[in-house]
């Protein structure tokens, strides 16, 4: 009889041991589901905050480019700017004498379709299917003739882990002579 009682105790003991493992797995699954739910709500907010910061910093960078061009002085003067592009594309549009930054964003900088003026810089928000397209533009068409490497060609600076070293040079009279010729080049 001792064997029978002992055998029952072993079976009950194994059942309890197995139940502990099942409970552990269930609790882990519940914890993973809860973490997944929390992340699904928090991740979009983090992306919005990151995009907002990038947009605000880019507005300041384009204002810095504007300030460098306006204060460059006499022909032959050259300025070096370090410009980081973490997201989006910075376009030096020499054909239209403008500097334009574009990026797809989870953050709506303004109402869709609206343009906000920040000094000489225009910020436009366009709604897309999933997100927003943010366009930050400084138009130099009235005062300056922009070129890239002495040519009327556009240049796109894309996302890069390192900052771009951009030289801005006053070349003197532009085309037409009433404009000042400003040349962009990369180091």
Q: Is residue 168 part of a domain?
A: yes
Q: Total domain count for the chain?
A: 1
Q: What is the 3-state secondary structure (H, E, C) of 79-148?
A: EEEEECCCCCEEEEECCCCEEEEEEEECCCCCCCCCEEEECCEEEEEEECCCCEEEEEEEECCCCEEEEE
Going by C-alpha positions, the residue among 59, 132, 42 that lies closest to residue 101 is: 59
- Over residues 23-81, the pLDDT tens digits come to 889 999 999 999 999 888 899 899 999 999 999 999 999 999 999 999 998 899 999 99
What average pLDDT does range 81-87 have in this prediction?
Answer: 93
Are 170 and 77 in contact, with CB atoms under 8 Å apart? yes
pLDDT at 89 over 80: yes
Question: pTM of the predicted model, to two decimals?
Answer: 0.79
Going by C-alpha positions, the residue among 137, 90, 130, 89 that lies closest to residue 107 is: 130
Q: Is residue 17 part of a domain?
A: no
Q: Is residue 27 part of a domain?
A: no
Q: Is residue 29 part of a domain?
A: no
**Residue numbers of the domain that contains 164:** 39-186
Q: Is residue 11 part of a domain?
A: no
């Amino acid at each position: 009889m001792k064997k029978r009682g002992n055998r029952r105790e072993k079976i009950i003991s194994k059942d309890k041991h197995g139940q502990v493992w099942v409970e552990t797995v269930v609790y882990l699954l519940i914890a993973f589901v809860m973490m997944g739910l929390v992340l699904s709500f928090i991740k979009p907010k983090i992306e919005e905050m990151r995009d907002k910061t990038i947009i605000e910093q880019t507005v300041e960078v384009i204002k810095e480019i504007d300030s460098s061009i306006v204060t460059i002085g006499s022909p032959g003067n050259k300025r070096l700017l370090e410009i980081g592009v973490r997201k989006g594309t910075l376009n030096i549009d020499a054909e239209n004498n403008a500097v334009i930054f574009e990026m797809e964003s989870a953050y709506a900088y303004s109402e869709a379709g609206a343009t906000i003026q920040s000094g000489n810089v225009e910020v436009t928000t366009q709604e897309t299917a999933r997100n927003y397209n943010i366009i930050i533009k400084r138009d130099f068409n009235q005062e300056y003739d922009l070129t890239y490497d002495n040519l009327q060609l556009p240049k796109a600076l894309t996302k890069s882990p390192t900052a771009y070293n951009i030289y801005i040079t006053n070349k003197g009279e532009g085309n037409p002579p009433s404009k000042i010729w400003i040349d962009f080049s990369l180091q």
